Each structure stands twice: as C-alpha cells, then as structure tokens.
Amino acid sequence: MNHFELFDIKPDYALDLADLQQRYRKLQQAMHPDRFANASSRDKLLAVQRTSQLNDAYHTLREPLSRAEYMLTLRGVDMQHEQKTLQDPEFLMAQMEWRERVEELSPGDFAAIDTAFRDLEGETKLLQDKLEQQLAADANEEAADTIRKLKFMHKLGRELEALEDQ
C-alpha cells in the first residue's frame, strides 16, 4: 500500500494539508500500539510497524518536495541516491549568481537578508507552480529536474537562515 492509499487520498501534488493531518490523526488513534497492549506479541509488533509506516507516510506527504519525489518514485523515477546533475545552463548561471549574492551578505544586514529571502521565496513559488503542472501532465523527467532546482533553492534558504541566526 502506498502513502496515498494509506490515507485514502488521490495521488496529487496539491494536497489539502488540513485534511491530510485530520486523516493522520484518525489513523494514528486507530493504529497506536497502546491499543494493542493486551494483544499477542505478533500483533504488538505489527502495530509498531504500522505506526512507523504511518508516520513515514505522513512526513513524506506533508512536505511538497518529498511528496513530489515520492510521486515520481511511484511512477518509476527514483531520485534517491542519484548523482545526476542539472544540464540547464540558465539555472546553473542563476545558481552562481545566488551563491555570490549570499557570500556578499553580512550577518547583521537584516534588510538585505530579508530581501534575499523574499526573492528566493518568489523564485521558489514559481518553481513549485511549474512542478505542479509537470506532475499533472506526467512530465516526469521535467518534474525531476524541477525538483533538483527546488532542492538547491531550499538549501539556499537554509543558508540564509543560518546567516540570519549569526
């Protein structure tokens, strides 16, 4: 049973996260190992395994990037442990420009960091919209490339957060 089937929801990139959370809580209550305290050892072990699967499924589907990767995995495109690099010269140039921009930021310059965050969020939103369209159109290889781009953007976001924390 895949993650979408577990939650009885349509495999779609655009999920209602409140609905997902509600389904998760209901399933969590039904599957919780404490409900099997008086059961056999086998049933207790199964309850622990089901709860673990439920938690993994929820965390995967809750995050857009991991949800998209999971959808591609279901379609036969496995991106885990891959070493493939992007072949998009335009995006590679943009990466270099972002790297330079982040390197030039000073830890105390909150206005510049905030501007960089807003710019990054805007570009990330465009990529997420593009990814949603690609997944809906079953353009799997294009979606995989967009996921690679989004991973870079998320990494940049973490670097900006670290800079802000300094």
Domains of the chain: which residue ranges? 3-62, 89-165
What kind of architecture, by CATH, is found in domain 3-62?
Answer: Orthogonal Bundle (1.10)
pLDDT mean values, one per 10 residues, the chain (166 residues): 95 95 94 77 83 95 96 90 76 92 88 94 96 96 94 93 86
What kind of architecture, by CATH, is found in domain 89-165?
Answer: Up-down Bundle (1.20)
Q: Do 89-165 and 3-62 have the same topology in CATH?
A: no
pTM: 0.84
Distance from C-alpha of 47 to C-alpha of 36, rounded to nearest angstrom:
7
